[in-house]
C-alpha cells in the first residue's frame, strides 16, 4: 500500500508568540473553546472550518470527539503503549481522565507515573502535546464524577475487567446483565475505578502552516513554577 500521495498543505491558521497566553493551561482552554466552536474566530477561519466540515459531511465522515486524546504510557521494562481516552476536566492541577486502575494503562501508570497526551483537531489544523507526572484523583472526586455517568456505563465499569482476555462477547454481556440485577438502584463506584491527573511539565502547541513550516511553541515548567516559552523548529 503506497501512502506517499496522502498529503495536505496546511493553510487554515498561524500562531504568533505575541498571541500566546503566559499560562499554557489558559492557552489550552482557549484552543479547546475554538475547537468546540464556542469562541469567535476570524471570518476566513470560520469559512475554512465550515467548508472542511461540509466536505466531511458529504463524505459521511463522523466528527471526532473534541476531548479525545492519545495517552502514552510506559511499563516498568520501558515498553510504551498508547490508546485514545477522553479528557473530562482541565484545571490548575492539570488534565483529568478516568479509567480502570487494573487496566494496562492503570498498571503502567502505577509502575511508571509519567505519561504524555496528544490532542489533534483536524478542523483547525492544530495539535497539542502534553507530558508530565500522573497521580490518582481523590476517591471522593472520582465518585462524584461516577455518579454523573449513564447507568449503563456505570454497570460497564463493574462488568469489564479491562485489558484482560475474555472468551467472547456473550460472556461480557452476561456479566453486564448479572451486575444489572445485582445493582437495581444506585450503582456504587468500583474500588478499582477512578481518575488520574496529569500535571504538565511540558506543553507544546502546534499550528499547521504551508510548506511544512509549522508554528510550534513549547512551554517548559521552571523550578520557580513559571513557564518558559520557546519557538521550536518544525
* Residues known to be catalytic: 212
For 156-179, b/e burial (b = at least 16 CB within 10 A) is: bbbbbebeeeeeeeeeeeebeeeb
CB neighbourhood size of 193 (10 A):
21
Q: Tell me, what's the pLDDT at 47? A: 60
Distance CA 159, CA 95 (A): 26
Q: Tell me, what's the pLDDT at 104? A: 97
Q: Tell me, what's the pLDDT at 48? A: 55
Four-residue CA torsion sign, 223, 95, 192, 70:
negative
pTM of the complete model: 0.86
What architecture does CATH give domain 17-137+193-232?
Roll (2.30)
Closest to 22 in 3D by CA, of 167, 225, 182, 191: 225
Q: Tell me, what's the pLDDT at 10? A: 83
Averages of pLDDT over runs of 10 residues in the chain (234 residues) are: 76 92 98 83 55 57 80 96 97 97 97 97 96 98 98 97 93 95 97 98 96 96 98 96
Q: Tell me, what's the pLDDT at 8? A: 78
Q: Domain ranges in the chain? A: 17-137+193-232
Cell triple for 81: 503503549
Amino acid at each position: 500500500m503506497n501512502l506517499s500521495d496522502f498529503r495536505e498543505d496546511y493553510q487554515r491558521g498561524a500562531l504568533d508568540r505575541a498571541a500566546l497566553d503566559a499560562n499554557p493551561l489558559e492557552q489550552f482552554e482557549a484552543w479547546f473553546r475554538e475547537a468546540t466552536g464556542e469562541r469567535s474566530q476570524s471570518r476566513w477561519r470560520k469559512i475554512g472550518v465550515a467548508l472542511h466540515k461540509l466536505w466531511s459531511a458529504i463524505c459521511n465522515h463522523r466528527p471526532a470527539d473534541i476531548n479525545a486524546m492519545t495517552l502514552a504510557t510506559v511499563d516498568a521494562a520501558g515498553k510504551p503503549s498508547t490508546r485514545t481516552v477522553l479528557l473530562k476536566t482541565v484545571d490548575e492541577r492539570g488534565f483529568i481522565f478516568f479509567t480502570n486502575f487494573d487496566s494496562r494503562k492503570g498498571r503502567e501508570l502505577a509502575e511508571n507515573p509519567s505519561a504524555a497526551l496528544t490532542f489533534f483537531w483536524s478542523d483547525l489544523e492544530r495539535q497539542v502535546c502534553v507530558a508530565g507526572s500522573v497521580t490518582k484523583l481523590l476517591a471522593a472526586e472520582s465518585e462524584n464524577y461516577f455518579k454523573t455517568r449513564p447507568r449503563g456505563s456505570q454497570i460497564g465499569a463493574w462488568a469489564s475487567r479491562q485489558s484482560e482476555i475474555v472468551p467472547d462477547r456473550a460472556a461480557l454481556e452476561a456479566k453486564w446483565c448479572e451486575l444489572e440485577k445485582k445493582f437495581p438502584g444506585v450503582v456504587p463506584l468500583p474500588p478499582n475505578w477512578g481518575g488520574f491527573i496529569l500535571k504538565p511539565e511540558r506543553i507544546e502547541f502546534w499550528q499547521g502552516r504551508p510548506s511544512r513550516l509549522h508554528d510550534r511553541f513549547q512551554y517548559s515548567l521552571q523550578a520557580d513554577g513559571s513557564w518558559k516559552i520557546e519557538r521550536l523548529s518544525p
